[in-house]
Amino acid sequence: MKILVAVKRVVDYNVKVRVKSDGTGVDIANVKMSMNPFDEIAVEEAVRLKEKGVVTEVIAVSCGDAKSQETLRTAMAIGADRGILVETAEELQPLAVAKLLKALVDKEQPQLIILGKQAIDDDANQTGQMLAALADLPQATFASKVEVAGDKATVTREVDGGLETVALTLPAVITTDLRLNEPRYVTLPNIMKAKKKQLDTVKPEDLGVDVKPRLKTLKVAEPPKRGAGIKVPDVATLVEKLKNEAKVI
């Protein structure tokens, strides 16, 4: 069995993001970048399935500029067998990424495609669902537990009402939630081994995909500063303020 895992290079989650002064986007100059945390969970899950003997090959895929090779090397250090970079300088929106992944799914024919449920930069939560629709594959999003046996996968999903368990016939698309696993610490020997693993580079035009943006960002702004709180002398005053000022009751 072959697994395809999508990984994205994003601003590190520990970095305080700054909006550009002209409001055109987020300032990423000289900012630490790393693998999207949800994608790290996806890679870890794929590697665990390989360690169980369920999977024979794990392929990591990233779409973006040449610097995304670092993210793929990290995925290979975690345990992916090889990497594919779809290199482009264009701004990639979820639909474009889904189309690129669809082209790679057609080419590689994996039995399972695992993605993070969302990227922490745009929080779109769209690519996995779009890929499943384009490839006409069953999907299980927000996975907190994944079990694979034969040509079937059982996925426990996190939903508003608690947990939901779904059964999928492979090939299928799964998107990972935070509680699925705890990604392993990448050791120096594995980082060195990852440098020798195969990493192929293709262009969107090689895959026959048009990645031009369909959406236009008008302005990016920071959320308004939170106002200071106030103290009230008693419960009656609190209820009165909630009712007449905040108008929440």
Tens of pLDDT, residue by residue over 81-137, are 999 999 998 889 999 999 999 999 999 999 999 999 999 988 999 999 999 999 999
Domain ranges across the chain: 2-244
Rg, Å, the chain Cα set: 21
- CATH of range 2-244; options 3.40.50.620, 1.10.760.10, 3.40.190.10, 3.40.50.300: 3.40.50.620
**What's the mean per-residue pLDDT of the chain?**
92
- Give the per-residue pLDDT at 195: 92
- CA 35 vs. chain centroid, Å, equals 9
Looking at residue 99, its amino acid is K
Which tens digits make up the pLDDT trace of 185-241? 999 999 999 999 999 999 999 999 999 988 888 888 888 888 888 899 999 999 998
CA proximity to 74, closest of 182, 199, 181, 203: 199
Could you tell me whether strands 9-11 and 33-35 are parallel, antiparallel, or unpaired per DSSP bridges? Answer: antiparallel
Looking at residue 125, its amino acid is N
Average pLDDT over residues 2-11: 95
The pair of three-digit structure tokens given for residue 85, joined into one six-digit string:
């970079």
In the chain the first and final C-alpha atoms are separated, in Å, by 55
